[in-house]
Structure formats: structure tokens, C-alpha cells
Amino acid sequence: MNSYDRLPYPSLSYPQTHPDRLATLATLLGMSPAPVERCRVLEMGCAGGGNLLPMADGLPGSEFVGIDASAVQIAAGQGAVAALGLANLSLRHLDILDVDESLGRFDYILVHGVYSWVPPEVQNKILTVCKENLAPQGVA
């Protein structure tokens, strides 16, 4: 059990991270983002998936992957995913430092409420993941 298991973070929805909003902003900035109806989304530090659950429900043609260092949070989130029957959402107990190319490329990478308080090693890894796992025209 780690500190993230002992004191879990709230698992909430953050509308500002929705792919639809990110795609709109990217388009306004001259990018050609992937259509939100058929995209891949990674959230690092997803807690129990509270941010991804409504996205996965509303965008059944897209694939969502959430990772978190808390096994307790991930287990709770996996229960919600199963109860809702969301085949397009996978929650994984995985430390950010352990993310590699095996997760594949993502059209949208979400990281909120994490970067500012983690050590420099994790901050650097977050940037590496955004560089190596972001699809062309991807938004992070």
C-alpha cells in the first residue's frame, strides 16, 4: 500500500479536459486533431476514473486508458467500468514512470493536478510520454 492508497485523491470529472473542448481549441490554433468520436485518450493520474467515465460513456467509438499509482483507486474505478459496461475504458494500476511505447499512441493525453507537485523525475517522464506517445496532430 502506498501513500496514494492511504489518502486517495477525489475522482471527479473535469470538463476542461474533455476531448471535444481540446479538439475545438486545437482547431482554433490551426491543428487538425483527431475526431473525438473515434480517438484514443490517455489520462495519467486518473484516480478512480471519474474524469474518464463520462467521456467513455458519451463517446462509445473512442478508446480511453487511465493510469494511476493507486491500486485502491484503480480497483474502485474498474468496478464502476464493469457496472456501466464500458468496453472502451481501461483503467490500469501503473506508475507514470513505467509508461512506455506498449501503451501505443494517443490522440489526446490528459494530465491535470499532477505535474505541479510531483518530483522532477516524474515531470520529465510526463513530458517524455507526451512526446513519445502522442499521435501526430495529437493534443496534450
CATH of the domain at 63: 3.40.50.150
Pairing of strands 106-110, 134-139: parallel
How many structural domains does the chain have? 1
- Position 98 scores a pLDDT of 98
Q: Which three cell numbers stand for residue 9?
A: 485523491
Mean pLDDT per block of 10 residues along the chain (140 residues) reads 65 92 98 98 98 98 98 97 98 98 98 92 98 97
- Position 1 scores a pLDDT of 66
Q: Which three cell numbers stand for residue 73?
A: 483507486
Instruction: Provide the whole-model pTM.
Output: 0.94
Examine residue 88 and state whether it is found in any structural domain, yes or no.
yes
- Position 12 scores a pLDDT of 77
Identify the domain containing residue 99 by its residue range.
Answer: 28-139
For residues 10 and 50, the answer to whether their CB atoms sit within 8 Å is yes
Examine residue 89 and state whether it is found in any structural domain, yes or no.
yes
For residues 70 and 47, the answer to whether their CB atoms sit within 8 Å is yes
- Position 11 scores a pLDDT of 81
Question: 139: which strand partners?
Answer: 108
- Position 69 scores a pLDDT of 95
Examine residue 10 and state whether it is found in any structural domain, yes or no.
no
